[in-house]
């Protein structure tokens, strides 16, 4: 969505930085940046805002609270339009009174004292996340519900389930909202449209009765209200049936649970993402990447030890650093700040439970004397090919006591932890309902960029560094997720996932990753939360590309599913099989088995676009056109740099990377090319020789250059991994496996070798035989 108002407005001068008193007992004075006005702004300066709609229309912004415009500061009222999706007025409504914390308006006198005082509750809902999924167990939310259970609810119960809603409504807006088409047409002919999800300022046209009957949403005990609002505005109803739903926002499941997903169903998780969602797995995987590629590329996380395995290494590091070193200890699978402590004595280290011990980042960047972290929203629409997006806004969460590095303050969680679930218990915690204001203990990310920009900080550089962290971290989970996807999921359409990355800035404004949440909180009880999370979820659902399936695809429920997965059952059916032709498999094998893959060679992947290529490219361009305020960070014009970090090379990553390099500056040309091909039905399958790849066609055009390349310097290698030319397919159980030596693996014929006429007539078998069986099967 384009940011209105042009470039960021000029900012009034900010006051000089306040010096922090040396005394470790900190005054709980409220965090407020005076002499400074944060106005609505776009992403960090230098980043291009994006447009939302594939139809080229600029959508209205989410409603902003103002005096007299809302039914209460954060109303709990909702109309039947939101509930039933049919637009009839509601005859009943409810409201709630403000929480006691809201009575302390910013700028009003607050309780005084030198110590931080503990109190219960707060105005906002829990800002923490569901506990990350255990490898041998499932996540539980706050009420302890089973993660494998999807609670069924009939549409008649919608009103009761949506009580306590969080979305504000404009008075008198019901009859004047702009009506939007229910379907977003594809950019390309002969490609089905996707469902449109509107803002609260819009209404969605009604589809036919037959189509509306298919709009079923499976309700989970953890489905956030912002998701419920978005889907009901698009005329979804909630169902208690197990087989006929199209979408679900629920718990992360064990990997086998994904097998029951039907091809028309979409769940908000990928199998295996606990490899970055669990703290111990995250640090283990990032440490492996650091060992392989060096600290220059992977220096964005603090030194970490996982106990009890690393106890001897920790003891040595502890002795080397001395008693002045601070360490932070965390349970490996917890959330909301539970069990986190900052310590400096060996005797303070718990001995009888698994722990994560990290070097404490003791010199954070401070604003108003307070420590803070950033919540960055990252959305993965696909893992093969990898497609990642970052939302342009987010949250800035402050500790509620001024920071001190004194050892005597290490027990003060209000000073050293930034979790909302911890700091809301401090009587000095200040809420903030203005997404443009730099006040209170929670800001919008865009407000932070405005504040830092006013001080001359290059926020674009910080944003780019955060993108680098996100891409590398997700790549660390990629081999596990793709292996489990192949084992348990019939079609890539069925999975997508929102991640919450927690990032901290040190005194030099270097970003550090703290953790990754695979079920980030979407509670939105304040206008600040709602303006950010509501817009993000609306854009995410549009980006997800929900489709209306043919009626015959909504199959009857299966009877043989286990009790732990039957609630997601999509019916008995064969898993989707690869529909790649022999020629397409041959092309993919050829580009994955070249040891010397420089840019000139890789660019030829676009010379002959097969039906599978066209499908993936068209899907990616369609998806990009629906991105709203999300920014696609992978693939991108610079994604070639990241291909070497993948455990196993992926053909589709190479394809999209080359497409971006060729058309990122002239995207309309690439779209025009794909439109022509889709009009011919190439993406549906074709016998046109122009779209049937063979090694002969490659040899005739590129072989002379390849002979020169093989004999030249090897410094031009781009894609091949540093330690091998060819890797076997990832293990079925997602384990790392040992690096095979290049000499032990079968390789394709050298690109510089002669090719016989028989090879030209039948290139595919030769290429297939050059791969290990499991690698060829994965194609």
In terms of phi and psi (left: phi > 0; alpha: psi -120 to 50; beta: otherwise), the region of 63 is beta
Give 366's pLDDT tier (boundaries 50, 70, 90): very high
Output 52 or 686, whichever has higher pLDDT. 686
- Cα–Cα distance for residue pair 276/407, rounded to 1 Å: 31
pLDDT at 629 over 60: yes
Q: What is the DSSP letter of 32?
A: B
φ and ψ at 637, to 5 degrees? -60, -20
Q: Is the pLDDT of residue 744 over 80?
A: no
Nearest to 418 by CA among 301, 282, 514: 514
Note whether 710 and 601 are within 8 A (CB): no
Neighbour count for residue 273 (Cβ, 10 Å): 26
pLDDT in tens, 673-730: 999 999 999 999 877 766 777 776 666 555 555 555 444 444 443 444 444 443 333 3
* pLDDT for res 701: 58
Share of the chain above pLDDT 90, in %: 45
Q: In this predicted model, which residue has the larger pLDDT, 62 or 591?
A: 591
Residue scoring higher pLDDT (631 or 427): 631
CB-based contact 300:512 (threshold 8 Å): yes
What is the model's pLDDT at position 612?
Answer: 94
- Measured distance CA(422)–CA(734) in Å, rounded: 36
Are 531 and 241 in contact by the 8 Å Cβ rule? The answer is: no
E strands within 627-775? 630-634
- pLDDT tens-place string over residues 433-450: 898 999 999 999 999 999
396-414 pLDDT, tens digit per residue, is: 999 999 999 888 878 888 8
CA-based radius of gyration for the chain: 27
pLDDT at position 581, please? 87
Q: Which of 506, 510, 400 is nearest to 465 (CA)?
A: 510
More confident residue, 736 or 225: 225
Comparing 82-86, 248-252, 579-583, the range with the smallest average pLDDT is: 82-86
Using an 8 Å Cβ cutoff, are 650 and 385 in contact? yes
As beta bridge partners, residue 517 has 500
Report pLDDT for 87: 36
Alpha-carbon distance of 127 to 227, in angstroms, equals 16
- The number of residues making up the chain comes to 779
Residue 718 DSSP label: -
Percent of the chain with pLDDT strictly greater than 70: 62
What is the CA 210 to chain-centroid distance, rounded?
Answer: 34
Residue 149 has pLDDT above 70, yes or no: no
Cis ω for the linkage preceding 308 (within 30 of 0): yes
Spatial separation of the C-alpha atoms in residues 450 and 436, rounded to whole Å: 9
Is 338 in contact with 312 (CB distance < 8 Å)? no
Model confidence pLDDT, tens digit, residues 642-686: 999 999 999 999 999 999 999 999 999 999 999 999 999 999 987
- Find all residues with CB under 8 Å of 738, minimum gap 6, and list them: none
Segment 124-136 shows an average pLDDT of 38
* DSSP H helix total and E strand total for the chain: 21, 19
Distances (CA, A) of 371 to 31, 175, 659, 671: 11, 46, 42, 46
pLDDT range class, residue 75, cuts 50, 70, 90 = very low
Residue in the structure block whose two tokens are 């020629």: 583
Extract the tokens encoding 109. 């006198």
Residues 6+ apart with CB under 8 A from 627: 50, 52, 389, 539, 543
Q: Compute the C-alpha angle 720/723/729, nearest 5°.
A: 70
| Structure token digits, residue 506 | 């040190």
pLDDT confidence of residue 573: 36
Please state, in angstroms and as integers, the Cα–Cα distance from residue 527 to each residue in 70, 302, 308, 531, following that order: 11, 34, 44, 6
Helix, strand, coil % (nearest 5) of the chain? 35, 10, 55
CB half-sphere exposure, 754, CA atoms < 13 A = 3
Q: Six-digit token pair at 686?
A: 């074709």
Residue bearing tokens 């909504």:
554
Largest distance between two CA atoms of the chain: 88
For residue 600, name the pLDDT band (cuts at 50, 70, 90): confident
User: String of b and e for 653-666 (b: at least 16 CB within 10 Å)?
Assistant: bbbbbbbbbebeee
Which token pair is 751?
């690109």
Helix 611-625 with 651-663: angle, nearest 10 deg: 60
Region of poorest pLDDT, from 353-357, 507-511, 561-565, 752-756? 752-756
User: Which pair of tokens denotes residue 728?
Assistant: 């076997």
Q: What is the pLDDT of residue 630?
A: 98
Q: Among 2-16, 156-170, 323-337, 640-654, which stretch is predicted with the lowest mean pLDDT?
A: 2-16
The span from the CA of 460 to the CA of 476, in Å, is: 25
CA distances from 163 to 83, 144, 709 (A): 10, 21, 67
Q: Which two tokens stand for residue 407?
A: 């050892």
Q: How many CB atoms lie within 10 A of CB 336?
A: 18
**570 token code pair:** 């999509």
């Amino acid at each position: 969505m384009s940011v209105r108002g042009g470039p960021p407005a000029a900012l009034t001068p900010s006051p000089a930085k306040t010096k922090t008193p040396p005394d470790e007992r900190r005054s709980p004075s409220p965090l407020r940046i005076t002499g400074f006005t944060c106005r609505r702004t776009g992403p960090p300066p230098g980043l291009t805002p994006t447009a939302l709609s594939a139809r080229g229309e600029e959508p209205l912004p989410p409603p902003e609270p103002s005096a007299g415009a809302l039914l209460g500061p954060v109303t709990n009222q909702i109309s039947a339009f939101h509930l039933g999706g049919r637009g009839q007025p509601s005859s009943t409504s409810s409201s709630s009174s403000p929480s006691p914390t809201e009575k302390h308006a910013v700028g009003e006198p607050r309780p005084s004292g030198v110590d931080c005082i503990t109190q219960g509750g707060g105005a906002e809902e829990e800002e923490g996340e569901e506990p990350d999924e255990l490898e041998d167990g499932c996540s539980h939310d706050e009420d302890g519900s089973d993660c494998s259970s999807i609670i069924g609810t009939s549409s008649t119960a919608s009103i009761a389930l949506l009580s306590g809603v969080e979305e504000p409504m404009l008075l008198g807006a019901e009859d004047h909202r702009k009506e939007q088409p229910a379907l977003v047409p594809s950019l390309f002919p002969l490609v089905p449209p996707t469902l449109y999800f509107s803002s609260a300022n819009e209404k969605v046209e009604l589809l036919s009765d037959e189509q509306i009957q298919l709009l079923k949403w499976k309700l989970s005990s953890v489905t956030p209200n912002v998701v419920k609002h978005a889907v009901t505005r698009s005329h979804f109803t909630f169902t208690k049936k197990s087989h006929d739903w199209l979408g679900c926002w629920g718990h992360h499941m064990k990997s086998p649970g994904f097998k029951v997903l039907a091809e028309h169903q979409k769940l908000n998780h990928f199998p295996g993402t606990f490899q970055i969602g669990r703290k111990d797995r995250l640090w283990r995987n990032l440490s492996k990447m650091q060992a392989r590629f060096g600290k220059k590329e992977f220096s964005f996380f603090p030194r970490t030890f996982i106990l009890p395995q690393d106890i001897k290494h920790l003891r040595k590091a502890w002795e080397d650093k001395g008693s002045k070193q601070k360490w932070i200890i965390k349970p490996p699978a917890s959330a909301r700040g539970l069990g986190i402590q900052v310590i400096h004595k060996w005797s303070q280290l718990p001995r009888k439970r698994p722990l994560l011990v990290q070097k404490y980042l003791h010199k954070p960047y401070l604003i108003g004397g307070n420590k803070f972290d950033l919540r960055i929203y990252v959305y993965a629409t696909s893992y093969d090919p990898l497609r990642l997006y970052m939302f342009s806004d987010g949250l800035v969460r402050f500790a509620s006591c001024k920071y001190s590095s004194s050892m005597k303050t290490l027990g003060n969680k209000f000073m050293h932890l930034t979790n909302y679930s911890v700091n809301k218990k401090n009587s000095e915690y200040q809420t903030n309902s203005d997404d443009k204001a730099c006040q209170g203990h929670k800001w919008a990310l865009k407000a932070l960029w405005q504040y830092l920009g006013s001080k001359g900080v290059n926020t674009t550089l910080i944003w780019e560094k955060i993108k680098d962290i996100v891409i590398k971290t997700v790549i660390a989970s990629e081999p596990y997720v793709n292996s489990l996807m192949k084992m348990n999921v019939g079609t890539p359409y069925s999975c997508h996932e929102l991640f919450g990355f927690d990032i901290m800035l040190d005194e030099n404004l270097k970003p550090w990753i703290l953790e990754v949440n695979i079920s980030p909180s979407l509670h939105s009880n304040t206008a600040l939360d709602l303006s950010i999370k509501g817009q993000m979820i609306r854009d995410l659902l549009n980006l997800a590309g929900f489709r209306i399936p043919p009626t015959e695809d909504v199959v009857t429920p299966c009877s043989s599913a286990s009790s732990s997965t039957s609630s997601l059952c999509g019916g008995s059916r064969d898993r989707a099989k690869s529909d790649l032709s022999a020629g397409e498999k041959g092309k993919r094998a050829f580009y994955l088995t070249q040891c010397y893959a420089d840019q000139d060679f890789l660019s030829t992947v676009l010379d002959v676009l097969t039906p599978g290529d066209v499908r993936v490219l068209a899907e990616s361009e369609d998806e990009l056109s629906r991105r709203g305020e999300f920014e696609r960070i992978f693939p991108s014009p610079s994604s070639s740099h990241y291909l070497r970090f993948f455990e196993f090379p992926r053909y589709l990553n190479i394809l999209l990377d080359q497409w971006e390099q060729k058309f990122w500056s002239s995207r309309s040309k690439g779209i025009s090319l794909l439109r022509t091909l889709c009009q011919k039905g190439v993406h549906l399958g074709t016998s046109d020789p122009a779209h049937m790849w063979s090694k002969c066609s490659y040899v005739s055009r590129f072989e002379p250059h390849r002979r020169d390349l093989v004999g030249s310097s090897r410094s031009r290698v781009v894609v091949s991994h540093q330690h091998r030319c060819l890797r076997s397919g990832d293990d079925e159980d997602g384990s790392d496996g040992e690096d095979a030596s290049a000499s032990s693996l079968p390789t394709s014929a050298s690109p510089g070798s002669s090719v016989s006429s028989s090879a030209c007539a039948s290139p595919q078998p030769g290429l297939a035989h050059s791969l290990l069986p499991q690698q060829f099967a994965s194609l």
